[in-house]
């Protein structure tokens, strides 16, 4: 509920306003900013997710005093307008386009991988089973996995399944790709590391049923020419459990406005992105096994 209210305050504080109403809007914006600062411990939702949360929201009797506040936040979130830049008004028609940028970044990567990867091997949102299997009754610990229980409700099934963003084959090696829509300086966050670690043991290709041979964690970069780690192949990580398994952190070029101007410009961007991926993935999953490791589970840096 508070996340919905905060999303509404953010719209009030940041949405553009015609200059004619500037004097009226300024005090309202300042009050919205001041109130939002009092909610700094509340996670922020974007407009679309906040509107979806409103539709799912069920207020308890204790929440009833907030009803009018939530209604007002919903009114603010539903209002949309597109204002032309000064001197750019050539038409009375305007179109607003709203995108989930994290999903769009995945689509950019998928388009580039279809240029680079083995033909027909790129899969999106590949389901990954839970790394844990319920022990039923008195069955032994080493029993084979039990068949799926049709009596499980949909929510239980959803909790058991996650999805890896992308899975593809490159020169015969099966690779999982985790798209991250956030800037990164080359360090792998703990949550991301454990997520990829679980995927490395459980994700199977939908084309050949094999476990993956390597992983790539792909971030947008403000410096398209840079590769994390300052060396070819980005920052390399080795799984700390056997068998040997490599993951790479790569910073990749994010589309610029000029890349969206035409179909030719967009195809050129995808080609550049594919080239950057090829450079960053050179040699991945192609080196011979170098033994096993007794280190604790996780992803450990490869020191060269």
Read off the pLDDT of each residue in 12-41 and give the average, rounded to a whole number: 79
Give percent above pLDDT 90 in the chain: 10
Which pLDDT value is given to residue 100?
Answer: 72
**Across the strands, what pairs with 219?**
251
CA distance 138 to 270: 54
Q: Are 130 and 199 in contact (CB under 8 A)?
A: no
Read off the pLDDT of each residue in 29-35 and give the average, rounded to a whole number: 85
Which pLDDT value is given to residue 84?
Answer: 58
Please, which pLDDT band fits residue 42 given cuts at 50, 70 and 90? Answer: confident
Q: Looking at the predicted structure, is the pLDDT value of residue 74 above 90? A: no
Residues 6+ apart with CB under 8 A from 223: 251
Which pLDDT value is given to residue 293?
Answer: 39
Q: Are 18 and 83 in contact (CB under 8 A)?
A: yes
| Per-residue pLDDT reduced to its tens digit, 182-204 | 877 667 888 888 888 888 888 88
300 versus 207: which is more confidently predicted? 207
Q: Looking at the predicted structure, is the pLDDT value of residue 219 above 70? A: yes
Which pLDDT value is given to residue 231?
Answer: 47
Nearest by Cα to 43 from 98, 95, 6, 94: 6
CA distance 218 to 184: 10
| Cis geometry, peptide bond prior to residue 243 (ω within 30 degrees of 0) | yes
Which pLDDT value is given to residue 273?
Answer: 92
170 versus 227: which is more confidently predicted? 170
* Token pair recorded at residue 244: 């040997």
Please, which pLDDT band fits residue 78 given cuts at 50, 70 and 90? Answer: confident
Tell the burial category of 175 from Cβ atoms under 10 Å away from its Cβ (0-12, 13-18, 19+): buried
| Per-residue pLDDT reduced to its tens digit, 102-151 | 888 999 999 999 999 888 888 888 888 887 777 877 777 665 554 444 44
CA distance 88 to 4: 34
- Residue 47, Cα to own-chain centre: how many angstroms? 17
| Per-residue pLDDT reduced to its tens digit, 140-161 | 766 555 444 444 444 444 555 6
Longest Cα–Cα distance in the chain: 76
Coil, helix or strand at residue 95: coil
Please, which pLDDT band fits residue 66 given cuts at 50, 70 and 90? Answer: confident
Please, which pLDDT band fits residue 229 given cuts at 50, 70 and 90? Answer: very low
Read off the pLDDT of each residue in 83-107 and give the average, rounded to a whole number: 67
| Per-residue pLDDT reduced to its tens digit, 232-287 | 446 888 888 888 888 888 888 888 888 888 889 999 999 999 999 988 888 886 64
Nearest by Cα to 218 from 253, 178, 256, 164: 178
Q: Which of 22-26, 68-72, 209-213, 225-229 has the lowest mean pLDDT?
A: 225-229
Please, which pLDDT band fits residue 176 given cuts at 50, 70 and 90? Answer: very high
| First vs last C-alpha separation in the chain | 50
CA distances from 4 to 68, 69, 101, 296 (A): 12, 10, 20, 41
Q: Looking at the predicted structure, is the pLDDT value of residue 29 above 50? A: yes
């Amino acid at each position: 509920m508070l996340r919905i209210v905060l999303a509404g305050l953010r719209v009030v504080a940041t949405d553009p306003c015609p200059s004619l109403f500037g004097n009226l809007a300024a005090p309202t914006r300042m009050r919205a900013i001041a109130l939002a600062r009092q909610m700094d411990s509340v996670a922020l939702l974007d407009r679309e997710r906040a509107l979806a949360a409103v539709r799912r929201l069920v207020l308890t009797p204790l929440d009833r005093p907030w009803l009018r506040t939530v209604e007002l936040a919903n009114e603010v979130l539903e209002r949309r307008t597109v204002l032309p830049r000064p001197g750019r008004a050539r038409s009375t028609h305007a179109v607003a386009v709203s995108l989930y940028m994290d999903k769009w970044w995945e689509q950019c990567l998928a388009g580039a991988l279809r240029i680079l990867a083995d033909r027909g091997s790129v899969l999106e949102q590949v389901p990954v089973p839970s790394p844990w299997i319920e022990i039923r009754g008195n069955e032994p610990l080493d029993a084979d996995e039990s068949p799926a229980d049709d009596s499980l409700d949909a929510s239980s099934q959803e909790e058991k399944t996650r999805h890896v963003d992308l899975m593809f084959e490159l020169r015969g090696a099966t690779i999982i790709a985790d798209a991250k829509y956030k800037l990164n300086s080359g360090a792998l966050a703990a949550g991301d590391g454990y997520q990829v670690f679980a995927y490395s043991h459980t994700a199977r290709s939908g084309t050949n049923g094999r476990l993956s041979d390597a992983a790539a964690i792909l971030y947008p970069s403000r410096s398209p020419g840079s590769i994390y780690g300052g060396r070819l192949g980005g920052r390399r990580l080795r799984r700390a459990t056997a068998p040997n398994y490599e993951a790479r952190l790569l910073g990749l070029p994010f589309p610029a406005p000029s890349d969206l101007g035409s179909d030719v410009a967009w195809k050129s961007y995808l080609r550049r992105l594919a080239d950057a991926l090829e450079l960053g993935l050179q040699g991945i999953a192609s080196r011979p096994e170098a033994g096993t490791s007794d280190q604790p589970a996780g992803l450990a840096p490869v020191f060269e």
